[in-house]
Each structure stands twice: as C-alpha cells, then as structure tokens.
C-alpha cells in the first residue's frame, strides 16, 4: 500500500513541479484573468496527466505489478487516478467557464484586449486555427467522461453494462488528447513538462487504441475448455475446472486470472483455487453468486464449453521466511488458501517443497455448505494446515483477539488476509495497536477491480 500511495501522490507532485518549472510566474500578483489562464493550464495538465496514467494501467502491464504489490493494487491506483482526473477536470471546467458566468452576471469586468503579438512559429499558428474545434469537442468529451467515470464508481451498476460503457472512456480520452495538444500553452512543449506530457499522451493514446480494439492482455490469453462444474448450494458457489492444454506457463497459489466465456460480457477476474501441475494442466475457479454476472454463471456455463483465460496476475503468493503463517479467509476469500493447500499437499516430501511453516487457517463465513466445508477440512489435513472454521451465526465474528488466543506465536508470524476490505482493515488496525509490524507482515489482497 505504501508504494501505491507513493505512486499516486508522486504522479500529482511531479506534474505540479514540472508545471512550476514551465510557468515563469505561477502565482505572482497581478490581474485575475492571467491567473485564471494559468489555473486553467495547471488543472488541465493534472487532469489529462492522471487520465493518461490511468489509461496506461488499463493495459494491465507487467512492469509495475511487482513494485505495486500486484494487479489488485494496480487497479486501485487506476481507480484513484480516475477519480483525480475527474476532480481536476471539473476544476479545469470551472476555471474555464466560471469567469465567463461572472462577466455575464455583471460581477466581473472583462479585461480589455490589446494588440496580440505576432506568432511566427508555423506549428503554433496551425494549432491556433484549431482552438475553437478543440474547445467544443473537449467540452463534450468532458461531459461524457464525467458520466462514464461516475458510472464506473457505482458498484450497483451491472458489470455487463460497465464493461461496455467503460470502453467509451477510451474514445473520450482520444478526444481529450486532441483538446490538450491544441490548447496547452505552446511554450510548455519546449520544457520538461511538455516532454513528459508528450510521452504520457503518446502512451495513453496507444493504450486507448488497444482498449478500443479489445486487445488488452492479448499476449497472456490462452484457450481452455471446461471439464467439470460443481455447485455448492449452501454457499451459493460454483467450482469450475478448466483444462488449458497449450500456452499456460503455470501460476502460483494466490494468483488470479481473467476468464471470459461470453464476448459480450468481457473478462472477469477470479482467484485461482488450484495448484499447478504441468502433467495435468488444469485451472480451478470458485465463484460466489455476488452480482449480476456471477449469479447467472450456473445457467450459462456447460461442460465442454470453450473459454479464454488470461494471466496469471497478483503477488499474494505466500512468499516469506516467517516460521509461522496466519491465513484469514472471509467468505469466498478462502479461495487463494485452497490453492495453497492443494500445492502444499501435492509437493509434500518433494525436494522443492516449500520450507516447513506452521500454518493456521481461519475461515469465517455466514453461509454453510457441509460438502464444501468437508473438502476444505480434507485439504487442510493433506497440507498439515491447522483449520479454524467460524460460522457467524454460531461462533460470532472473528477478531484479532481470537486469532492471538489461538496462535500464541502470532508475533513471529506473517498474516495473509483475503476477504471483505473493511474486515481486513479492521484486523490490520487491531494488530497494529498490539505492535504487530503490519507494513511488513500483514498482506491483504484488494480484490476489487472497480
């Protein structure tokens, strides 16, 4: 999370600093309208800069994933940048239009325009002829972007509609690139700010084109075939086994992948619930009925159906040298731990078996399915994992105190949490107050892609 915050605030700080270098007198005394022009430029730089970064991250690039802590963290940064772009774009729009309204209402006097200096640079002259078009198109693209970003932030907006409307943001972005290139102060392009913006706009444009062509993650996609389906009615979860004969290079327990069974729905992220065995190349997903898409999977999927799988992604891979590990899976958040237990059982006694660690798995759930719990207990026995199952109605909520009572060695352990974000945050704060080094040894997957 620390690198996530550094990346977000660092992006804003770098853009502001580069603007300060490019602008000779950013906040000096003087008339209002020149200040207004500078604020229009600054807010515009921040808005298109954040949107460009968000567009680049939409490609799911590999290079920042390890530093940010996984694609789940990268998507959180993508979301923050989108919100920052929305806020700064609104500020940009208000600086551009607010003074015009005040002049119209008689609250502000329009400055007298003197003779304009002669422009000799042919590129600047050409861009000047496009100002009116860029302003008009940019305003409409701004309105579209505001609506589309707002829809993306509404969790109750159906995913199948979100997938389609979110593609339109790439189109709005391309219009805003034209707006930015045309209306950015020409002298900026000769400064480090202009060079940086040029790279961001070029990379963002390339990303937008790939998004519109639906080529995101194309290099990491393989074809698969569904070999088994099992539904657990007590927990309303579907276990899907997919055979991937060619192209899948393997995965670590705790990673996830995007799966697509319907082109109109797009790809959905699911945590992988199986270890990897190259001799039997299969991937298992466990999906809980939580939304419009997952609630219809049981009726839509069938054995023998072809699907596309993209990945693997994520850094929630249980890699540490602590003598003890504490796993906490809330609800469907049990999935990565199932995968890890299957891998431990499969590799038990092998020369490359992971170091022997004492592992306590806490699974807290509101729903009960005896068959699913039986399989979980069997996996725990096979992997020599100490299982603690807490059913909300019977056992109450899991707290940090209950974990510490069950695991006396908790101070020497690492904690791996997957489940509701608020639940994980509460546990993190609780352990932090008891002196546990949460920054180094509390690992939480932020499995929310919107």
pLDDT value for 161: 77
Look at domain 2-112+121-212 and name its CATH class: mainly alpha
pLDDT in tens, 377-390: 999 999 999 999 99
CATH number listed for the domain at residues 219-313: 2.40.30.10
pLDDT value for 115: 67
Q: Which CATH number fits domain 324-444: 3.40.50.80, 3.40.50.2300, 3.30.470.20, 2.70.98.20?
A: 3.40.50.80
Q: CA 297 → CA 206, 389, 390, distances in Å?
A: 33, 27, 28
Domains 2-112+121-212 and 324-444 share a fold: no
* Strand ranges (E), 272-385: 282-288, 306-313, 324-330, 358-365
pLDDT value for 251: 93
CA 425, CA 361: separation in Å to the nearest integer? 18
Q: HSE, CB side, 13 Å, CA atoms: give it for residue 305.
A: 18
Domain ranges of the chain: 2-112+121-212, 219-313, 324-444
Beta-carbon count within 10 A of 178 CB:
17
Question: Of 292, 267, 331, 298, whose CA–CA distance to 156 is shortest?
Answer: 292
Question: Of 300, 389, 383, 390, whose CA–CA distance to 342 is shortest?
Answer: 383
pLDDT value for 207: 97
pLDDT, one tens digit for every residue, the chain (450 residues): 688 999 999 999 999 999 999 988 777 677 888 889 999 999 999 999 999 999 999 999 988 888 888 888 899 999 999 999 999 999 999 999 998 898 889 888 887 776 677 787 888 888 888 999 999 999 999 999 999 988 888 777 777 777 778 889 999 999 999 999 999 999 999 999 999 999 999 999 999 999 999 899 888 999 999 999 999 998 889 999 999 988 898 999 999 999 988 777 778 888 899 989 888 899 999 988 877 777 888 888 999 999 999 999 989 999 898 999 999 999 889 999 999 999 999 887 666 665 578 999 999 998 888 999 999 999 999 999 999 999 998 999 999 999 999 999 999 999 999 999 899 999 999 999 999 999 999 999 876 655
Residue 417: strand pairing partners: 328, 444
Question: Of 225, 222, 218, whose CA–CA distance to 248 is shortest?
Answer: 222
pLDDT value for 154: 79
pLDDT value for 103: 86
Question: Of 303, 306, 305, 311, whose CA–CA distance to 276 is shortest?
Answer: 311
- In sequence order, which ranges of 105-130 are alpha helices (DSSP H)? 122-129
CA 21, CA 193: separation in Å to the nearest integer? 8
Predicted model pTM:
0.88
pLDDT value for 318: 93
DSSP three-state, residue 149: helix
pLDDT value for 162: 79
* Strand ranges (E), 279-357: 282-288, 306-313, 324-330
Locate 413 and state its tokens.
Answer: 């352990």
- In sequence order, which ranges of 154-263 are alpha helices (DSSP H)? 159-183, 192-212
């Amino acid at each position: 999370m620390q690198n996530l915050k550094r990346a977000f605030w660092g992006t804003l700080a770098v853009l502001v600093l580069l603007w300060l270098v490019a602008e000779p007198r950013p906040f000096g005394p003087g008339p209002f309208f020149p200040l207004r022009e500078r604020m229009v430029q600054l807010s515009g730089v921040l808005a298109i800069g954040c949107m460009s970064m968000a567009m680049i991250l939409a490609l799911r690039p590999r290079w920042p994933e390890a530093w940010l802590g996984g694609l789940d963290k990268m998507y959180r940064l993508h979301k923050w940048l989108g919100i920052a772009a929305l806020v700064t774009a609104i500020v940009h729009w208000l600086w551009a239009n607010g003074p015009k309204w005040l002049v119209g209402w008689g609250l502000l006097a329009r400055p007298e325009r003197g003779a304009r200096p002669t422009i000799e640079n042919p590129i600047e002259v050409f861009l000047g002829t496009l100002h009116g078009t860029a302003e008009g198109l940019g305003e409409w693209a701004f309105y579209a972007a505001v609506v589309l970003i707002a829809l993306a932030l509404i969790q109750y907006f159906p995913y199948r509609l979100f997938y389609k409307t979110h593609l339109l943001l790439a189109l709005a972005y391309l219009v805003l690139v034209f707006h930015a290139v045309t209306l950015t102060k020409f002298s900026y392009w000769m400064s480090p700010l202009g060079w940086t913006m040029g790279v961001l706009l070029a990379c963002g444009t390339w990303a937008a084109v790939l998004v519109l062509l639906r080529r995101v993650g194309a290099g990491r996609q393989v074809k698969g075939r569904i070999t088994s389906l099992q539904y657990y009615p007590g927990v309303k979860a579907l276990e899907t086994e997919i055979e991937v004969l060619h192209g899948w290079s393997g995965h670590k327990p705790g990673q996830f992948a995007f799966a697509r069974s319907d082109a109109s729905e797009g790809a959905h992220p699911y945590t992988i619930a199986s270890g990897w065995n190259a001799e039997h190349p299969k991937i298992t997903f466990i999906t809980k009925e939580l939304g419009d898409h997952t609630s219809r999977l049981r009726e839509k999927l069938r054995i023998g159906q072809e699907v596309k799988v993209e990945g693997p992604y994520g850094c929630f891979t249980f890699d540490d040298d602590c003598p003890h590990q504490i796993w906490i899976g809330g609800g469907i958040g049990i999935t990565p731990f199932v995968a890890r237990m299957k891998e431990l059982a499969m590799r038990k006694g092998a020369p490359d078996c992971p170091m022997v660690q004492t592992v306590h798995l806490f699974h807290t759930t509101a729903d009960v399915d005896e068959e699913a719990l039986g399989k979980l207990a069997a996996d725990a026995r096979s992997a020599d994992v100490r299982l603690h199952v807490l059913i909300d109605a019977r056992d109450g909520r899991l707290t940090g105190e209950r974990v510490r009572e069950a695991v006396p060695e908790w101070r020497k352990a690492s904690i791996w949490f997957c489940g509701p974000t608020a639940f994980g945050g509460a546990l993190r704060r609780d352990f932090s107050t008891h002196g546990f080094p949460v920054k180094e040894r509390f690992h939480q997957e932020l499995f929310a892609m919107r």
